[in-house]
Chains A and B, each alone.
Chain A
Amino acid sequence: MSDLQKTGIDKRRFLARTLTGAATLLLTGCYDLSQKQWFTGILERVEILTQHAQHLFAGPQTLAPEFTKADISPVFRANGTLDPGTADYAAHAARNFADWRIQVGGLVAHPLSLSMTQLRAMPSRTQITRHDCVEGWSCIGEWTGTPLKTVLAAAAPKPAARYAVFYCADPMTAEGDPDHMYYESLDMIEAMHPQTILAYRLNGSDLSIPHGAPVRLRAERQLGYKQPKYIQRIELVEDFAHIQGGKGGYWEDLGYTWYGGI
């Protein structure tokens, strides 16, 4: 082999190695960046930009598309917790949730404690809407429930209230640790939206346990994880930094964005 040939091969090998090296560096670099606080801080600021930009086009009253009965999915997939599995919840289920109560408190003038009968007695809204999971799939179903706006109006929110926090009956650790129950939060715009309802019926039947019996939230302009199931308590707050991981929801504490409109 001549020296010239050898240099050619060396050159090519060098080029190939440089390219592979650069690609690997880029990939591991991106992965490392994902764990750097300054970088995820930028990503979080972009999330706020996205939220503001979307609100420019979707005003407080802009409705999510509604569908016809023909569009209803034959099987509505249940995701996340399929049964809270606690003794307390099982006892409620055995009594068909006759003693289930929804507490409404925090920054309100008149704290409430509603039974399911009281909730059902309030004016209801029925809507056929699409449920979008953050994973990418969608199901269409007909939901009936009490507009959250109506419930909150009865509790008379104080002007300082900026978020509605929902506390649920499903523990998110295998040990059933009461400090790690599912929770979520919406801002007051989304909480007061006409399609945001405390839903107790899906496709004409009472909510099943996998779908969040006896009551779950529907916030139709948001992804699935923003719509908690098994709701026991609603608290209006000015800030959620002191609640659990401080990011405003179970999945948010694990790195998902608080804004779930995209």
Chain B
Amino acid sequence: MASGKTQQKIAVKMRRLAGVLRPALARIRAGTGPRVLFYRHRLPVRVMHWINALCVAIMLMSGLSIFNAHPMLYWGKASDFNHPILSLDAMQSPDGALHGITMVGHHVFHTTGFLGVSNEDGAPTVRGFPSWATLPGPQWLAMGRQWHFAFAWILAINGLIFFAYAFLSRHFSRDLMPTQKDIAHLPREIIDHARLRFPKGEEARHYNALQKLAYVFVIFVLGPLIVATGLTMSPTMDAAFPQLLWLFGGRQSARTIHFICAFSFLGFFIVHIAMVILSGPINNLRSMITGRYAIRTEPENV
């Protein structure tokens, strides 16, 4: 039977993947020389990291709750209801069943169970994002807004303190800004990352080029952009700073950019967690809690 063949093919592919992953993981575990703990993250960075992690999670989930009140995105100053650029919609077939329909531009996707229609308390319900992804779970716009605007304050204040600290302590210039050497090594770095080869020795004392670029992009581009587009959605802020509307091409464009930024944050978060797990979850977690990170010193350096 065809399914048997497919299963075989999948099994072969899985074996190949395991063949690639196993040596990579073995390298991570083994290292080359004696293990040394060094102080990697200072206390303010660790505290701000965890505050930020909590805020980002709450902002994402309460944001989806707010989005669910009108799960459509537009481009421009106002909503052109006939031409959303994204819509999570629902349709009812003659037999009464609900179907989740996601439209991106002119492309239509059937997303029942996830987008447009998903189970809430066991019953198919019309809602943009499913209840497991939103805060609060049941559709409750008023409460989603209150969570979002309260944690926006904590996120913004934490972010500002981080900026001040990182400049004054030279955390930016010393640890985060890519050097010319970093840029030169970028192609090599990309190949190493793709093969899940992570620096274990002396190089692990510093962030690598891809890491720096990712952090710098999130801190200097994504962060300010998501705050500014968020403020642009407030009618009172538009009165105070009409330049925001000019900058983003209108309130509905700002809402769309805000949404894209939010999913970029989610993308960063997923890659970040994947890297933490692949490059040694215990070591990474400990370094963000106690500050100490273990490296393998090179034998010739001992």
Residues of chain A whose beta carbon lies under 8 Å from any beta carbon of chain B: 27, 30-31, 34, 40, 42-44, 46-47, 49-50, 54, 57-58, 62-65, 67, 71, 73-75, 77, 130, 132-140, 220-223, 251, 254-257, 261-262
Contact = CB atoms under 8 A, between A and B. Distances in A.
A23 to B, nearest CB: 9
B235 A71 contact: no
Contact of A138 (B58, B69, B78): B78
Given A65-B242, A73-B78, A34 B149 contact: no
Contacts of B80: 73-74
| Most-contacted residue by chain B among A44, A138, A222 (CB, 10 A) | A138
B79 interface: yes
A130 B255 CA distance: 14
Range of interface residues on B (Cβ < 8 Å)? 35 or more
Nearest to A220: B235
27 contacts: A34-B143, A42-B150, A43-B147, A43-B150, A46-B149, A46-B150, A46-B153, A49-B153, A54-B237, A58-B236, A62-B240, A64-B238, A73-B80, A75-B81, A77-B81, A130-B235, A132-B233, A134-B141, A134-B145, A136-B69, A136-B233, A222-B236, A223-B235, A256-B141, A261-B237, A262-B235, A262-B236
A262 B237 contact: yes
B72 A137 contact: yes
Contact of A257 (B145, B153, B251): B145
B132 A27 contact: yes
B239 A58 contact: yes
Chain B interface mostly: helix
| Most-contacted residue by chain B among A31, A42, A58, A136 (CB, 10 A) | A136
Contacts of A27: 132, 135, 137
B122 to A, nearest CB: 16
Contacts of A54: 234, 236-237, 240
Contact of B238 (A65, A75, A77, A137): A65
Contacts of A46: 146, 149-150, 153
Nearest to A195: B239
Contacts of B265: none
Nearest to B153: A46
B70 A34 contact: no
Given A130-B251, A135-B141, A136-B255, A64 B146 contact: no
B140 A261 contact: no
B258 to A, nearest CB: 10
A202 B9 CA distance: 65
